[in-house]
Structures are given as C-alpha cells and as structure tokens.
C-alpha cells in the first residue's frame, strides 16, 4: 500500500497551508466552498457536506490556453521577408518575381514568403500592374479618340515651378554659458552668420530660377498667341511644344515641316514595330495569388497594330490642323525600320501616306469619334496604302 502524507497548517481563519509529498498548496474558504492554489494552478472546489457530492474546476486554464494560442499566432518572420522591396510581373508569361532593393530576384522562396507574410501588398501590386497593362492595351486601339476638331486651337498648359523655396535656418540662441564666455558667444554668432549667408545665397538662386521660369512661360504664352493669329514660325513652335505633351502609349518619333506660306504641313512619323507590340491580355486569379495570361492570335495582334498606326496618323493630322490655323493641307506618311538585305543596315519602309485638306477634314463628326474607324477614315482621303484585310503591309511610295 502506498503511503500518503498530508499536513494542514492554519495560517489565519479561512486560510490553510497544505503540506504533502507532491508539494505545497494554499487553501482559502469555508467547508463546502473554497479555492486551492498549488503547483498545478488555481482550482475552485464546491460540495455539500455529508452527501459526498462535490465539484472541482481549474480556474486559470483559459488564460494558459490563450497564451499558448497567442504564441502560435506570432511565428518568426523569415529573414528573406526583410529583403523584399518590389514586385515585377512579366506581362508576356505571367511570371512573378519578388525583388530586393538592388532589383535582384529572390526566387521561389521570396514569392512563397510574400504570399505568406505580405499577401495583401502582393495582390495590390499585381493588380496595379495588370490594370496598367490592360489600360495600355485599350489606349493602343483608341488613340484617335482624343483628336481635337480643326477649329479648336490648343490651350496652353502652364508648367508649374516645382522647385521648393529654401527653408530658413534654425539659429542657435545665446545661452547663459555663451553670455559668460566670450569665445563661446563669438562661435555661436559666427555660426549663425554663416547659416544666414548661406540661406540668402540659396534664396537668391531660387528667386532667379523662379524668374527665369516665369519668363519662359511668358514667352510660351506669346508664341501661342502669335500662332493662333497665323504666324508660321509660332505655329511650328506651338506644334512642337504641343506634340511633346501627348502621352503616346508606345514610343513615337516624328518630324514635320511647315511651308513658308503656312498653308501646307508635312509630317513623317516613325511607327512602332509590329514585333514590339504587346500580345497578351491579363487577368488576376479568382482564387490564389497569380495572373492568368491570354496570348492573342497573330491575326488579332496585326489588327490591333493596324488600328494603332492609323489612329496615330488620324490624331496627328487633327493636331496639325488645330495647332496651325492657316494650314489647308496636311501630308502625313508613316514608316517603320526594316533590315536592308543589300547592305545589312536599316532602311525606311513606308506603310501608308495620306494627303488631307481642311475642308474635307471638317466633315468628320469630332463629337462622335467612338464610332469612327481610323482605318476607314483615312481611306476617305488621298491615301497610298497596300495592306491586306488582316493588317499585312507592303511598302509604298509616300506623297512628296
């Protein structure tokens, strides 16, 4: 038979110290209802004396579980998470790369850690890149929608002066020690004088830059006023200034020449290459983290390219008539760069060339451009173009 040992010592009424083989516990309460605090925690005891009925429950078990659960909810974040700085989406393949501050790919581990510890930020970054790609795809086919009517002279968009004024320096005050020590006082005074002198130089430089900016804006405003009145040189300057403000969805290079009498405008536009065109549509996963890629067919890409290069020409013709009120004829030619098999270099391949007069251009309903197809619209004028219905171009001779 196992031996049991228990001794109870009364500390004061209602409180007892229990000594046993398994340790020490403390009891408080009356017979039939008391609390016991021991090595296994705090227990509540209740019973009816003389009946043998009793109930015992651990009172601090929930706090223990809560502490354990809290510990499980704050796992250690992997070190790679501290290196994550950016998200890069390949819009052709849909591949996702997590980059560090130097632009280096953190690999599959970086992507898994981003999903586990920064899922919301990862999904936001991907969604922004998907939306930007899809907006760019829409703009490629709809570039002509912003074409102005020929009688709407462009409004000057002023360039704000964004250089902030220099902040006034914080001068050090003379404390008690400086008042008592001439050397310390002189050092503080000289330091303050240097700060004030440096601030005055910075402020004068800022004032000079601001004045130069104002003079440039006044000169621009004068050019716009002269151009609206038909001055040829001013019209050339305004056309150059205005075309620079257009946000083309693809890189665009062009050159133009205005006749001396200001009646004929010739535009040459270097069109983007068909091979450089985007070929995918993107969509975020409905479940999980990722981007689905729909690769467009060759025919769809050619038709998109066809709509874009004609839309560019349509827009440029409209800008030419709007910026140069005296112009009666616009001749626009679009070309691309192709390899020259004879020399191995590059040569210009003209895809189309169109001659438009102002009277015919004014027949277009510029308040209803969403139903205008630039491919058909340019065909209504004197157009040189050798193109199939699916957008395959053959070289042509442009208008002189």
Measured distance CA(373)–CA(367) in Å, rounded:
14
The reported pLDDT for the residue numbered 332 is: 96
Widest distance between CA atoms in the chain: 126
Write out the DSSP string of 273-324.
Answer: PGGGS--EEEEE-SSSS-EEEEEPPHHHHHHHHHHHHHHHHHHHHHHHHHH-
Measured distance CA(180)–CA(4) in Å, rounded:
83
Q: What is the mean pLDDT of the chain?
A: 84
9 pLDDT more than 80: no
pTM for this one?
A: 0.68
Give the list of residues 6+ apart from residue 53 with CB closer than 8 angstroms, or none: 47
Q: How far is CA 146 from the centre of its chain?
A: 23
The reported pLDDT for the residue numbered 26 is: 58
Which of the residue ranges 170-174, 260-264, 373-377 would you say has the lowest mean pLDDT?
A: 170-174
Q: Where are the beta strands (DSSP E) in 148-289?
A: 253-258, 264-270, 280-284
CB 331 within 8 A of CB 354: yes
pLDDT, tens digit, for every residue of 21-57? Answer: 556 565 666 666 666 666 666 666 666 565 555 656 6
Q: With CA atoms as reference, report the closest residue to 307 among 76, 139, 89, 81.
A: 139
Residues making up the chain, counted from first to last: 400
pLDDT, tens digit, for every residue of 104-134? Answer: 888 888 888 888 888 888 889 999 999 988 8
Quote the Cα angle for 372-378-383, to 5°. 165
Q: With CA atoms as reference, report the closest residue to 154 among 362, 357, 321, 369.
A: 321
Measured distance CA(300)–CA(281) in Å, rounded:
12
Measured distance CA(143)–CA(150) in Å, rounded:
17
pLDDT, tens digit, for every residue of 67-108? Answer: 444 445 545 657 666 777 888 998 888 899 888 888 888 888
Measured distance CA(123)–CA(116) in Å, rounded:
12
Provide the phi-psi class of 168: left if phi over 0, else alpha when psi is between -120 and 50, else beta.
Answer: beta
Collapsing DSSP states into helix, strand and coil, what is residue 59? coil
User: Which residue has 């050090």 as its token pair?
Assistant: 172
CB 242 within 8 A of CB 321: no
How many Cβ atoms from other residues are within 10 Å of residue 83's Cβ? 16
2 pLDDT more than 60: no
Residue 350 pLDDT grade (very low, low, confident, very high; cuts 50, 70, 90): very high
Residue 262 DSSP symbol: S
Collapsing DSSP states into helix, strand and coil, what is residue 203? helix
User: Which residue has 């890409």 as its token pair?
Assistant: 301
Q: How far is CA 287 from the centre of its chain?
A: 24
Quote the Cα angle for 18-21-25, to 5°. 30
User: How many helices, marked H, and strands, marked E, lie in the chain?
Assistant: 9, 16
pLDDT, tens digit, for every residue of 270-322? Answer: 988 877 778 888 999 988 888 999 998 888 888 889 999 999 999 999 999 99
203 pLDDT more than 50: yes
Residue 5 pLDDT grade (very low, low, confident, very high; cuts 50, 70, 90): very low
pLDDT, tens digit, for every residue of 213-250? Answer: 999 999 999 999 999 999 999 999 999 888 877 877 77
Phi, psi at 19, each rounded to 5°: -110, 125
User: In the chain, pLDDT over 90 holds for what percent of residues?
Assistant: 44
């Amino acid at each position: 038979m196992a031996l049991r040992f228990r001794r109870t010592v009364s500390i004061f009424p209602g409180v007892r110290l229990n000594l046993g083989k398994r340790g020490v516990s403390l009891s408080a309460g009356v017979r039939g209802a008391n609390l016991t605090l021991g090595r296994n925690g705090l227990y509540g005891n209740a019973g009816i004396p003389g009946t043998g009925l009793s109930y015992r429950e651990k009172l601090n078990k929930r706090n223990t579980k809560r502490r354990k659960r809290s510990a499980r909810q704050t796992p250690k974040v992997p070190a790679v998470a501290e290196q994550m700085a950016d998200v890069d989406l390949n819009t052709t393949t849909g591949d996702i790369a997590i980059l560090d501050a130097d632009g280096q790919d953190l690999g599959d581990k970086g992507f898994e850690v981003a999903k586990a510890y920064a899922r919301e930020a990862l999904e936001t970054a991907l969604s922004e890149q998907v939306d930007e790609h899809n907006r760019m795809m829409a703009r490629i086919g709809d570039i002509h929608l912003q074409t102005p009517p020929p009688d709407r002279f462009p409004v000057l968009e002023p360039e704000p002066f964004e250089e902030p004024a220099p902040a006034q320096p914080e001068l050090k005050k003379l404390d008690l020690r400086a008042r008592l020590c001439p050397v310390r006082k002189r050092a503080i005074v000289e330091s303050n004088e240097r700060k004030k002198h440096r601030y005055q130089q910075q402020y004068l430089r800022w004032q000079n830059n601001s004045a130069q900016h104002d003079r440039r804006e006044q000169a621009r405003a004068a050019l716009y006023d002269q151009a609206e009145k038909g001055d040829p040189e001013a019209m050339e300057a305004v056309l150059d200034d205005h075309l620079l403000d257009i946000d083309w969805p693809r890189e665009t290079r062009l050159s133009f020449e205005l006749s001396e009498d200001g009646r004929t405008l010739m535009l040459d536009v270097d069109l983007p290459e068909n091979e450089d065109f985007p070929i995918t549509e993107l969509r975020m996963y409905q479940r999980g983290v990722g981007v689905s890629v729909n690769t467009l067919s060759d025919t769809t890409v050619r038709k998109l390219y066809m709509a874009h290069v004609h839309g560019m020409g349509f827009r440029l013709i409209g800008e030419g008539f709007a910026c140069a009120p005296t112009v009666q004829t616009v001749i626009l030619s679009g070309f691309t760069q192709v390899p020259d098999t004879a020399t191995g270099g590059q040569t210009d391949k003209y895809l189309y060339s169109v001659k438009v007069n102002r009277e015919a251009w004014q027949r277009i309903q510029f308040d209803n451009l969403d139903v205008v197809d630039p491919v058909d619209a340019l065909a209504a004028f004197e157009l040189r173009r050798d193109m199939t219905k699916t957008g395959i171009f053959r070289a042509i001779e442009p208008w002189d």
